[in-house]
Amino acid sequence: MKKEGAPIGIKIERLITCSAVLLYVIFLDIAYVTLISPVYSYYTLTNFHPALYVMVISTLLAVLPACFAQIRVNRPSQAVFWILYMFVYIPIMVIPDFVRENPLDMFVIFKLCVLLSLGILYGMSRVRLLSVYQTRIHPWLVGLGLFLLADALLFILIKTYGFHLRLVGFDDVYAVRSEYRSATDGLSGYALSWWSKIVGPGVMVFGLVKRKYVVFGAGFLLQIFAYTISGQKSIALTALFLIGIMLAMCKRGKYFGMNFALLAFLMVFGCLSVDWLTDGIRFTELISRRLLMLPAALTSHFFDFFTVNPKTYLGYGPLKDLFPYPYDLPKPAFLIGRAYFGNGEISANANFWADSYSAFGYVGVVLFTVILAVLLWLYDSITANKSFVFFTCLIAMPVWGLIDSSLITSLLTHGLLIVTVLAYFLPIYDQKTGARNE
């Protein structure tokens, strides 16, 4: 009887997942048209009223991966696929339709290139893993090393910014950000990013996985400390994101794709509903606009600018000795800030696929996706016999950086490389068998 019922169960899970993705797209569009564009049209979040058939095509492209992708995850990279699918891929498919006068121009090719790239990430997440030799370092030595590293970061932060846990409202963060920018040098900027992407989230994840809620609370306070320094709202929302990942991991990833799609839909719908009831835009502006809509709209600007202007070829960074940099501003985000917002000091960051296009065009989009896919494959291999839930959640915050920054920035500044190295040494294992990284 179970065998006869299994296909029906699979169909129901797939139907729920696709329905959740479709509703996510619909309410993301509604939120953009009714709340965000009327207020932020001056900020290039315009509405050119795309034709219905254009929106249908884009919606089909958005939902397509959900029709085929594996709902159950048993590797961290497979969870990363769903995060990037819901938070980067889908907004790219639908939001630019509103900001482009002709949504069916060459940007469609870019969309198809991103679809191909998402397929590469998915395919690589199913490749046979490497057999990685695990070092036999005593756990207390690893713990001591982590403690000393965290202390070093804390020393840098306190020395640069001082120590305080002042409560800063979301409406008052701009003064804090101004102080943060004026006080930040290269090292302190890295220290804060690693603290907020690795140290604080790592402590919270450990507390959640081990059900030690005092530890989770300590990690939350570490994040609040980072938030009071920089005023970055994403840091304050870390706990909600990690709790969402944990909820999606219910039954050890068996229904992760379905759960994550449902949570993403409920996030957009919930923000929209509260704003409708309160006659405001606070929640949609804070979450849906900043996390989903703005990076997607900026992706359209990146495409337009670097289609008619020279690519950067990373001449502003690691390849500056090989390729001359043709611009007077240091990074692509500042070029977009000047071109579309009239201010070269605005860092208009889009997602890693947009930045990849600015570097090498379509080739860059695919190339940087392959690099990311290989790194995630190595991460899967390193963590294959360790705590699946812990290491999936641990990489979630560095991956979040891909939503509004380049791959190189995520590797270095947001700690994607550091997390991969830490995963090799951290002796955190499952006490149960279950969904394994196979």
Give the residue from 243, 264, 291 where a domain finishes: 243
Cβ neighbours of 125 (radius 10 Å): 22
Report pLDDT for 7.
53
**Does one domain contain both 113 and 194?**
no
Give the residue from 195, 210, 243 where a domain finishes: 243
**Does one domain contain both 257 and 110?**
yes
Q: 20-48, pLDDT tens digit by residue? A: 999 999 999 999 999 999 999 989 999 99
**Does one domain contain both 235 and 248?**
no
Overall number of domains in the chain:
2
CA dihedral 403, 248, 82, 359 (to 10 degrees): 20
Is residue 53 situated within a structural domain?
A: yes
Q: Could you tell me the mean pLDDT of each successive run of 10 residues in the chain, 438 residues long?
A: 48 95 98 97 94 97 97 97 98 98 95 98 96 81 89 92 74 71 83 92 91 91 88 83 93 94 98 97 95 97 97 85 88 95 92 97 98 98 93 94 93 94 87 46
Domain coverage including residue 356:
2-132+244-425
Is residue 28 situated within a structural domain?
A: yes
- Spatial distance between the Cα atoms of 187 and 194, rounded to a whole number of angstroms: 11
Is residue 63 situated within a structural domain?
A: yes
**Does one domain contain both 381 and 236?**
no
Give the residue from 243, 275, 308 where a domain finishes: 243
**Does one domain contain both 23 and 89?**
yes
**Does one domain contain both 169 and 180?**
yes
Cα angle at 30 between 25 and 32, to 5 degrees?
Answer: 95
Is residue 138 situated within a structural domain?
A: no
Report pLDDT for 264.
98
Q: Where does 32-88 have alpha helices with state H?
A: 37-40, 52-63, 76-84
Is residue 188 situated within a structural domain?
A: yes
Report pLDDT for 3.
46
**Does one domain contain both 223 and 301?**
no
Report pLDDT for 437.
45
Query: Is residue 115 a contact partner of residue 67, using CB atoms and an 8 Å limit?
Result: no
Report pLDDT for 438.
43
Is residue 339 situated within a structural domain?
A: yes
**Does one domain contain both 119 and 8?**
yes
Report pLDDT for 231.
80
**Does one domain contain both 276 and 394?**
yes
Greatest Cα pair distance in the chain: 69
Phi and psi (nearest 5°) for 199?
-65, -60
Taking the CA of residue 274 as centre, how many other CA atoms within 13 Å lie in the half-sphere pointing to its CB?
13
Is residue 364 situated within a structural domain?
A: yes
**Does one domain contain both 189 and 126?**
no
Is residue 433 situated within a structural domain?
A: no
Local structure of 123: helix, strand or coil: helix
- The answer to whether the Cα torsion of 37, 43, 49, 54 is positive or negative is negative
- Spatial distance between the Cα atoms of 347 and 162, rounded to a whole number of angstroms: 26
